[in-house]
A and B are shown apart, each in its own frame.
Chain A
Amino acid sequence: MRTAFIEQLILEARINPKIFLLVGDLGFSVVEPFAKEFPDRFINVGIAEQNMTAVASGLAMEGYTVFTYSIANFPTLRCMEQIRYDVCYHNLDVKIVAVGAGYAYASLGPSHHATEDIGMLRTIPGLTIASPGDPLEARRLTTLLSRNPGPAYLRLGKAGEAVVHPAEPEIRMGKPVLVKDGKETAVFATGSILKYAHDQLKDEKRDWALFSFPVIKPIDGEALLPVFKKFNMIICIEEHQLSAGFGSAVLEKANDLLQAGLLEKFPHINRVGIQDEFISIAGTQDFIRNRAGLVL
């Protein structure tokens, strides 16, 4: 995904001279092509994420579209207040890019597990949250965010994720993307766990639908209405704490629709996510996902 992101960002930067990339001394063997082609629009700010986000704010105030790039929780949690107060309160065109969503850096331990970021960030007014499920979604989102001014968070997996979609999907802000149609049950997935969900539904006994949510804030409630009405069961799966994450956002939307009189009954929604715990053993991403109970 990170390669898809940087390749797409280079394409965008060729047509938009205002795109600027700041990295927090991470992105070795990823960001170099951008730095080489656009030396006037690239800085490695060093291991200083608060300053990276503040500098991004200053650049954005002077007209740039600024991408900040680092891994795991460093460009988000480490500088949460700069994101909230400098970027979002001033409604600046800053896109925060984190590589390593969920347990992508599984063996590196909880310091590198990005498993609370959605919950912490989605309460901040005006911040779009994008969470691609495969490299094709990452490409589309990079373009979408580059061309839509305002604060955004792009939650990337790592490298080498398999492609799920047969072709680049059309992504519209806040709307789910149908990956596979089915009966009775619909699975809502966000992030690279989409591939796992997709593999699980190849089983003939599970003729379920699968929707990817490349954008999890905002979520267009009305786009969910027909899905809530059609399926008896919704299963939300995410590589994030259950608390305040993607599934919670879906629950909130369902409740809003019910209260607004647009739904007659509350849909059955089952959530798969992390059960309020840190995982402090080593393992592959698949192993840690399994250990955390992220299974369908």
Chain B
Amino acid sequence: MKTEKSQELANKIRQTAVEMVHRAKASHIGGALSMADILAVLYEEVMAIFPDNPSDPRRDRFLLSKGHACTALYAVLAHKGFFPLKELESYSLDGSRLLSHTSHKVPGIELSTGSLGHALGVACGMGLAAKRQNKSFHTYCMVSDGELNEGSNWEAILFAPHHQLGNLTLIVDYNKIQSFGTVEEVLNLEPLHSKFIAFGWEVLEIDGHQHSDILKALKNSKIDTARPTVIIAHTIKGKGVSFMENKLLWHYRSPSDQDLEIAKREIQP
């Protein structure tokens, strides 16, 4: 499978996201970088998108539940032409619609998020509507690992297989670090794979930075039409910038001028 284009897009997402948090002195770059490759493959190779008409009914739906990592989503949408790249410079600044948690006022964004554990249930509703109306769009929902602490997610994880939502794909950005420590320390999710199996999901486990793996899994997730698919994507928080990788600190810290310079150099393809 050719992945040059998605690789190139992932680099652009990373570059742009780091610039955005630097300019706005904002947080949450680590979790934006960990999902950049998955977003790149989704928007470059997998989803039906209509940048000139973001609400086209034929579009595939993408819901980012981990709304704090919105810089990567804003970046991919701007790079795909949903709105001008220039607007990204206003991120989180006075009067901007680019809030520092995902906002549905921005073209291409289905659902505002920021409070964790909300999007998967909404995605279930969209998948259910597609089934009931015989529509062929697919719904994707990306959650963080930490937000699987939320009970609301497990209500939805029960619901989706019961209603045979084969048109729903859940992606877990499993970077193993949440706000206050590692997932293992705070509230262990393991064995995550077998939990989803027990709940009735089709489970795929991948390296969330290998584009060919990501593409294959996303394509496979459409095959089983009777069961929803979860892609457990093993990722690295801060991926692509050496001093941010696997560091809890970069859930919070905003890059300095010097950090930005190094980061941009490292992200070059």
- On whether the beta carbons of B129 and A45 are closer than 8 Å, the reply is no
B118 touches A85 (CB 8 A): yes
Identify the closest chain A residue to B123 (Cβ). A58
Q: Which of A46-54, A117-125, A213-221 contacts B (4 or more CB under 8 A)?
A: A46-54
Contact string against B for A residues 102-130, beta-carbon threshold 8 Å, 1 for contact and 0 otherwise: 00000000000000000000000000000
A86 touches B118 (CB 8 A): yes
Q: Which residues of A contact B104 (CB under 8 A)?
A: 90
Contacts of A266 in B (CB 8 A): none
Number of B positions contacting A (CB below 8 A): 28
**In the assembly, what is the distance between CA of A86 and CA of B122, in Å?**
8
* Shortest Cβ gap from A38 to chain B (Å): 11
A286 at interface (Cβ–Cβ under 8 A)? Answer: no
Task: Give the complex CA separation of A239 and B93 in angstroms.
Answer: 46
Asked if residues A55 and B121 are in contact (CB atoms below 8 Å), the reply is yes
> Residue on A with the closest CB to B124?
A55
A interface residue count range (under 10 / 10 to 19 / 20 to 34 / 35 or more): 20 to 34
| A46 touching B158, Cβ below 8 Å | yes
B121 touches which of A41, A46, A58, A89 (Cβ 8 Å): A58
- Of the candidate stretches A26-34, A61-69, A173-181, the one touching chain B is A61-69
- Judge if A43 is at the interface, Cβ distance under 8 Å: yes
Query: How far is B120's CA from A51's CA once the two chains are assembled, in angstroms?
Result: 9
Interface string of A75-113 (1 = CB under 8 A from B): 000000110011001100000000000000000000000
* A1 within 8 A of partner (CB): no
Of B114, B115, B125, which is within 8 A of A59 by CB? B125
B258 close to chain A: CB less than 8 A = no
Whether A90 lies near B112 (C-beta < 8 A) is yes
Residues from chain A with Cβ under 8 Å of B118 in the complex: 54, 81-82, 85-86
Q: Is the pair B125, A58 in contact by a Cβ cutoff of 8 Å?
A: yes
Beta-carbon contact of A61 and B126 below 8 Å: yes
> In the complex, what distance in Å separates the CA atom of A51 from the CA atom of B150?
12
CB-based contact A56/B129 at 8 Å: no
Q: Which residues in B have their C-beta under 8 angstroms from that of A199?
A: none
Q: Within 8 Å CB of A58, what residues of B? A: 121-129
Residue A40 at the chain B interface, CB threshold 8 Å: yes
* Number of inter-chain CB pairs below 8 Å: 88
Taking CB atoms, residues of chain B closer than 8 Å to A40 are 132
Which residues 239-276 of A have a CB within 8 angstroms of B? none
Q: Is the CB of A54 within 8 A of B130?
A: no
A103 to B247, CA, bound (A): 53
Query: In the complex, what residues of A have CB within 8 A of residue B163's CB?
Result: 43
Contact A90 B159 (CB under 8 A): no
CB of A82 within 8 A of CB of B158, answer no
Q: B170: CB under 8 A from chain A?
A: no
B125 touches A55 (CB 8 A): yes
B156 with A62: CB separation less than 8 A? no
Q: Does A142 contact B (CB under 8 A)?
A: no
* A-side interface mostly: helix
Pick from A51, A56, A57, A63 the residue with the most CB of B within 10 Å.
A51
B152 part of interface (Cβ distance < 8 Å): yes
Are A43 and B128 within 8 A (Cβ)?
yes
Q: Is B84 close to A, CB under 8 A? A: no
Provide the bound-state CA to CA distance between A89 and B132, in Å: 25
Which chain B residues lie closer than 8 Å to A82 at the CB level? 118, 121, 152
Cα-based distance from A64 to B152 in the complex (angstroms) = 22
Cβ 8 A contact of A45, one of B122, B126, B159? B159
Task: Name the contact of A54 in the complex, choosing from B125, B133, B151, B158 (C-beta under 8 A).
Answer: B125
- Report B106 CB to chain A, min CB distance, Å: 13
Bitwise interface map of B from 194 to 225 toward A, beta carbon under 8 Å scored 1, else 0: 00000000000000000000000000000000
A90 near B111: Cβ-Cβ < 8 Å: yes
Indicate the member of B104, B129, B133 with the most A CB atoms within 10 Å: B129
A191 to B70, CA, bound (A): 44
Residue in chain B with minimal CB distance to A79: B152
The answer to whether B129 and A50 touch across the interface, beta carbons within 8 angstroms, is no
Instruction: Return A46 CB to nearest CB of chain B, in Å.
Output: 7
Contact status A51-B124, CB under 8 Å: yes
CB distance from B3 to the nearest CB of A (A): 31
Q: Is the CB of B122 within 8 A of A57?
A: yes
**How far does the alpha carbon of A55 sit from the alpha carbon of B104 in the complex, in Å?**
17
Report if B245 contacts A (CB, 8 A): no
Q: B114 contacts which chain A residues (CB < 8 A)?
A: 85
Listed from nearest, the 9 A-B pairs whose CB atoms lie closest are A58-B125, A54-B121, A62-B129, A51-B155, A48-B155, A55-B125, A58-B126, A50-B152, A58-B122
A residues neighboring B (CB under 8 Å): 40-41, 43, 45-46, 48, 50-51, 53-64, 81-82, 85-86, 89-90
15 contacts between A and B (CB under 8 A): A48-B158, A50-B121, A51-B152, A54-B122, A54-B124, A54-B156, A55-B121, A55-B124, A56-B125, A58-B122, A58-B129, A61-B110, A62-B125, A62-B130, A85-B115
